[in-house]
């Protein structure tokens, strides 16, 4: 295990260009002077010492994290180039100009100034942030192992349970809406819960009969559903939505024929009438290679990033001076 001291880190910051694989800024090593005031140099080393003392462990930890990433990347032959960092910066600025500045490229400098930067200083800041991001991602991806449960989980997220993606069109009838309609009729008596459910079922059966008789089920849904959102969309929903409508509805969908309006399915708030609009089946073996590649190159999670840093720190003896 290596002994990393804070003094060594400060030396590395000043002489980084002579230590390939360790943190190097976009313009190489600093000159050794922060500024010149009235002809008198302000040493960079004093500024760095002030940063450590004034801002404490947080900034030290951030630099040590990057230092460890750089060392591990060097060991594994992982490289991040200035060309790709610069490309990412130009893409970021282009996005800002388009999304924040209304397409006015001349407003970029003023936008950066509000953040306490000019283009040169922002480029330097971005260099460190992007380099850390790319290094950590590539370190994690280089050692990432895809287990079968991970693959199956991703497969079912994209292609549905057991690789089946189903779209249904559902007509929603609720007791609350029916009760509201009945109360608006002059002289209407109060129905029992059983009578209300029977009336709702009769309405559902009548609407299904219209569809089976040749009327467009979509037209019926848009006109008769008591859910206004369903009327607007025509009632079409994917697995993530219709599977929330209860176990009985899920069983009915899984057993239903394609494009046939099914018998009413009661639920806690009323009745659903539906048809299966489409059903697409995908075999895991047909997409295994594609999904594996996607999982291997996916951006690292916060848990993976924390585990990487913890592993590298555990393998190193770090002493602060």
> What's the rounded Cα separation, in Å, for the pair 66 and 22?
8
pLDDT by residue (tens digit) across 93-139?
999 999 999 999 999 999 999 999 999 999 999 999 999 999 999 99
> What's the rounded Cα separation, in Å, for the pair 51 and 286?
55
Retrieve residue 53's tokens.
């003392």
Band (pLDDT 50/70/90 cuts) for residue 156 is: very high
> What's the rounded Cα separation, in Å, for the pair 2 and 315?
8
227 and 310 co-located in one domain: no
Closest CA to 242 of 171, 317, 158: 171
- pLDDT value of position 29: 54
Burial 73-100 (b: 16+ CB within 10 A, else e): beeeebebeeeebeebbeeebeeebeee
> 187-191 long-range CB contacts below 8 Å, 24 or more apart?
none
Instruction: Report DSSP letters for 22-54, one per residue.
Output: S---TT-S--SEEEEETTEEEEHHHHHHHHHHH
- Specify if 291 maps to a domain: no
Instruction: Report DSSP letters for 102-115, one per residue.
Output: TT-GGGHHHHHHHT
Q: Give the CA diameter of the chain.
A: 98
- Specify if 250 maps to a domain: yes
- Specify if 19 maps to a domain: yes
163 and 207 co-located in one domain: yes
258 pairs with which residues across the strands?
Answer: 276
- Specify if 292 maps to a domain: no
- pLDDT value of position 25: 65
pLDDT value at 8 more than 50: no
135 and 159 co-located in one domain: no
User: Are 30 and 44 spatial neighbours (Cβ–Cβ below 8 Å)?
Assistant: yes
- Specify if 90 maps to a domain: yes
55 and 137 co-located in one domain: yes
In this structure, what is the dihedral angle of CA atoms 253, 257, 258, 260, given to the nearest 10 degrees? -100
254 and 305 co-located in one domain: no
User: Are 67 and 60 spatial neighbours (Cβ–Cβ below 8 Å)?
Assistant: no
User: Positive or negative CA dihedral for 273, 275, 277, 281?
Assistant: positive
C-beta neighbour count of 23 within 10 angstroms = 20
pTM of the model: 0.64
In this structure, what is the dihedral angle of CA atoms 123, 129, 131, 132, given to the nearest 10 degrees? 170
12 and 118 co-located in one domain: yes
Residues shown for the chain: 321
Range of the domain at 313: 3-143+298-319
pLDDT value at 179 more than 70: yes
User: What mean pLDDT do residues 59-87 have?
Assistant: 93
Band (pLDDT 50/70/90 cuts) for residue 310 is: very high
User: Are 300 and 141 spatial neighbours (Cβ–Cβ below 8 Å)?
Assistant: yes
165 and 246 co-located in one domain: yes
124 and 256 co-located in one domain: no
> What's the rounded Cα separation, in Å, for the pair 265 and 246?
10
- Specify if 304 maps to a domain: yes
Number of domains in the chain: 2
8 and 130 co-located in one domain: yes
> What's the rounded Cα separation, in Å, for the pair 284 and 58?
45
Q: What angle do CA 40, 42, 46 make, to 5 degrees?
A: 145
In angstroms and rounded to an integer, the radius of gyration of the C-alpha atoms of the chain is 32
pLDDT value at 228 more than 90: no
- Specify if 77 maps to a domain: yes
pLDDT value at 13 more than 50: no
170 and 265 co-located in one domain: yes
Coil, helix or strand at residue 301: coil
Report the CATH number at residue 219. 3.10.50.40
- Specify if 289 maps to a domain: no
11 and 124 co-located in one domain: yes
256 and 308 co-located in one domain: no
> What's the rounded Cα separation, in Å, for the pair 174 and 271?
6
């Amino acid at each position: 295990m290596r002994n990393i001291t804070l003094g060594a880190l400060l030396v590395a910051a000043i002489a980084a260009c002579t230590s390939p694989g360790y943190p190097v800024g976009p313009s190489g090593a600093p000159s050794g002077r922060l500024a010149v005031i009235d002809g008198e140099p302000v040493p960079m080393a004093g500024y760095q010492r002030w940063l450590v003392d004034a801002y404490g462990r947080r900034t030290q930890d951030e630099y040590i994290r990057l230092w460890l990433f750089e060392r591990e990347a060097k060991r594994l032959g992982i490289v991040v180039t200035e060309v790709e960092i610069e490309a990412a910066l130009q893409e970021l600025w282009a996005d800002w100009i388009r999304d924040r500045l209304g397409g006015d490229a001349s407003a970029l400098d003023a936008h950066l100034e509000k953040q306490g930067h000019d283009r040169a200083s922002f480029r330097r800041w971005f260099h460190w942030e992007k380099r850390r991001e790319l290094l950590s991602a590539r370190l994690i991806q280089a050692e990432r192992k895809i287990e079968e449960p991970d693959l199956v989980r991703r497969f079912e997220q994209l292609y549905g349970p057991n690789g089946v993606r189903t779209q249904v069109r559902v007509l929603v009838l609720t007791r609350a809406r029916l009760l509201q309609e009945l109360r608006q009729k002059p002289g209407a008596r109060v129905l029992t819960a059983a009578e209300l459910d029977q009336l709702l079922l009769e309405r559902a059966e009548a609407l299904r009969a219209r569809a089976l008789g040749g009327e467009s089920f979509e037209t019926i849904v848009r006109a008769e559903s008591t859910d206004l959102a369903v009327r607007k969309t025509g009632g079409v929903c994917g697995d993530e939505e219709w599977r929330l409508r209860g176990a009985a509805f899920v069983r009915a969908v899984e057993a239903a024929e394609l494009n046939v309006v099914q018998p009413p399915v009661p639920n806690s708030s009323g009745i659903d009438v539906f048809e299966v609009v489409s059903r697409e089946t995908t075999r895991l073996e047909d997409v295994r290679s594609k999904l594996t590649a996607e999982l291997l190159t996916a951006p690292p999670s916060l848990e993976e990033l924390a585990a990487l840093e913890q592993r590298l720190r555990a393998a190193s003896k770090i002493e602060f001076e």
